[in-house]
Amino acid sequence: MAQSIKLADDIMKIVRRESELQSRSVAGQVAHWVRIGRAIELSGHFDHARITAALAGQIETTALTSEEKDVWLDSFVEKMGQPGPDEKSYFAGRRQLGLGVGLDAAGNLVRGKTASEE
């Protein structure tokens, strides 16, 4: 049974471009990459637990294979782009006080009072 999934626009742009270059459908390109990714994970040259350990700072990235480093880097960049719970809490508190700068729901820059204006 076919199922739908949501992929980010930047990923879909890559999939569409590559599917055209390889003369595959978009679904065929995604399926092809899934098979390749699975084969890499099962190859013995890739260990997701080691990537998780490197992301947690438990092992050095120099201990990873080149395949593991590629996945580690993608995961690292994604994690660094997302605020953590402490950061979310800090900025929520500043918004409640009307302090600092941020974005509204439409993505517009909003300026608040500075600490000296309190």
DSSP string, 3-41: ------HHHHHHHHHHHHHTT--HHHHHHHHHHHHHHHH
What average pLDDT does range 70-75 have in this prediction? Answer: 87
Report phi then psi at 81, rounded to 5: -85, -10
The contacts of residue 33 (CB under 8 Å, 6+ apart) are 15
Which helix (H) or strand (E) covers residue 44, if one does?
none
| pTM, full prediction | 0.48
Q: Break the chain into its structural domains and give their ranges.
A: 9-80, 85-117
pLDDT, position 38 = 82
- Residue 12: pLDDT band (50, 70, 90) is very high
The contacts of residue 46 (CB under 8 Å, 6+ apart) are 40, 65, 67, 68, 71
What average pLDDT does range 55-76 have in this prediction? Answer: 89
- For residue 14, pLDDT over 60 is answered with yes
Helices of type H across 22-115: 26-42, 48-55, 66-80, 85-97
pLDDT, position 113 = 65
| pLDDT tens column, 21-36 | 888 899 999 998 898 8
Amino acid at 50: R
- For residue 118, pLDDT over 60 is answered with no
